[in-house]
Structure 1
Amino acid sequence: MKRFSKKAILTTTLSAGLLLAACSTDNDGGNDQVNNTNNAATNTEENVTEVEGNEGNANTDGENNLDGEAQPEDVPNVMDQDPDEPVAIVNGEEIPYSELQAQVGPMQGMMGGEGEEDAEQDAEMQAMMAQMSQQILDQLVVTRLLVQEAEAQGIEADDEMVNQELEELKASFETEEAFQEALEQQQYTEEQIEEEIRDITRVEELLTLAHLEEGAYEVTEEEVQAFYEQMAAQNPEMEEFDTIQPELEEQLEQQAYLEDLRANAEIEILL
C-alpha cells in the first residue's frame, strides 16, 4: 500500500515524456527503466484514485464530468486540439490542452501511435487512449485543486528538498546536454520543472493535514478494516492489517478531505 506520493505524482503530472526521454538514454538498462517508469505511473493512478474516493459531489458545468459518464468513444483525440485552449477550469483557473497533451503524447507513442493496426485494433487503441486521456485529465484537475488549496493555506516548499528532487531528475539522464535536449523536445524549461516540483512538495505537506484541527477527520476501525479488505481483494500480497493500519487511516482521512475540497470546488470539464 502506497500513500499519496510526491515522487509517484512526478512520473505522471510533471512530464511523462521527459522521464521517458531519460529512459532512452541508457541502452543497456533501458528496458528496466521503462518498466520502472510504467510501474510508477500505475502507482500514481492508484494513489490518486484511493485519495479521491467518490467524486459524485464535484460541481461540473461541462457536458462531461469526472464521474465517468462520458464514454471513451465520445472523447476527441486530445492531440488534435488547440494546445492553448482550456480542457478544464478549476475554480476559475484554466488547465490548457497543452498540459494534457504533454502527458498523452508520449504514452500514445509508446503504444504504437495510430494507423498501424487493422480497423478493429485501431478502434480499440483509440478507446484506450480516450480512457487514458480522461484519467490523466482527472489527475491534473486533482493536482490543480490541491495546489490551489496549498496556496490558500500559505504552505511553502522547502528549497533544499526542491533542489534535491530536481537533481535526482537530472541524474536520470546520462549528461546535462541530454537533459536539456529532453526539455527542448517536451517544450519545458528548467524553471517550469522546478516550479512543478515545488507545487508537488507543497501538496505533499498539505496532505499531512497538519494545518487542520486535530480530529478534523476521523475514521472508525470498522471503516479502515473495510477499506483494507477492499484493497486486499485487489492485491493478495498486501501486508497484514495491523502493519499498515496507520497508513490506511491516513489515506481515508485524505480521501475525506479531498472529497470536501471537491464538493466546494467549481470544476468545469471541457473534454
Structure 2
Amino acid sequence: MRRRELLASGTALLSVALAGCGHPPVVLDFEEATTETVAELVSTTPEPGSEAYEVVASARDNGSAIRRGRRELFDRTNAVRVDGRFYEVSETAITSSEVTVYTVTVEAAESNSTAGLREVAYEDLPETDREQLGPILAEGEPPDPDTAIGVDYGSAEEVGNDSVFVPERQYDVIVRDGRRYRVRVSSRTADEAEYRYAVTEVAPDVETFADRVRDRYLFALTGLSAAERAVVEEAIEGAYFDEDDAFRSVVDRLRSHAGVDVTDSYGTWLLTYEGVEYRAYAEW
C-alpha cells in the first residue's frame, strides 16, 4: 500500500477532507447577531500569550514592535482585539532572508524493523519534543502504519537547544507504551522576513467597535415577497438549501448591499429583518 504523508503545523494536525462528502450546492443561513458577534465579523482576538497578542501589546506600549517570521500574522482587513480594545495594525516587511526549517516525521514501525537503531523512550524526550510529538503518539490507537505524519518544527533558532531531533537527529526510534515509531528529519530553505508593527486604536470597547461595524454594513431587508419571506424564515429557523427562484432573489437582494466578506460564490452580510439584527451567510 502506498504510504501517505500528512503535515502537522506545530501540534495541530491538518484536517483531511473525505472524498465523496456531500455538501448542498447552495445555502442561506441567518444567525441572530449580538454585539459580540457583530464585532467578531471584522476583528480577530489573539489568545493572551500568543505571538500575535504579544506583538500588538508591545507595539501599543512601546510605539512599535519588531518580529521575525516566515509569514504575516494579521489579516489586513481586520481589527485586532487586545485587552478589550480594538486596534488597526500596520505590518510591514523591512528585511528578507533565507532560513533552514525542519520537519520531523514519524510512522509506526514493526519491532523487527528497528533492530540496531538508536531508541529513546517518549518519557525521556525533552519537553519540546514531547509537546510537538505528543498528539501524534497519544495513548490509545497507534497511527495508521501506512501514514507518515510530519510536524513542522521551524528553524533551529526557534527550536533552541531543547530537542534531540532538530537540528541534529540523535535517535532513530521513539518507544511509547511498547509501540515503536521511526523518526525521520528533513530540512528545506524558506523565506523569512523581519516585520515592523505599529497600532492605532480604533475603539476602546466592544460596544463602540460594534457600532462602527453597524454604521458601515448594517441594512434593513424589507419589501420581500411571500416566497422570499418563506426563504428567510426557513434560513432563520435553521438554513435554506433549495436553489429556486425565491432563493436566488433573496441572494440578489443581499448582493446589492455592501457585504462584510463577499466573493463570487459566497458572502456574509449584517442586516435587520423585522427589527431583529442578523448575520446572514450565503453560498450560491
TM-score class normalised by the smaller sequence: under 0.3
Structure number with the bigger relative contact order (C-alpha 8 A, sep ≥ 6) is: 1
* Structure (1 or 2) with the greater helix fraction: 1
Could you state the TM-score of these two structures normalised by the residue count of structure 1?
Answer: 0.24
Could you state the TM-score of these two structures normalised by the residue count of structure 2?
Answer: 0.23
Query: Rg: which structure is higher?
Result: 2
* Structure (1 or 2) with the greater strand fraction: 2
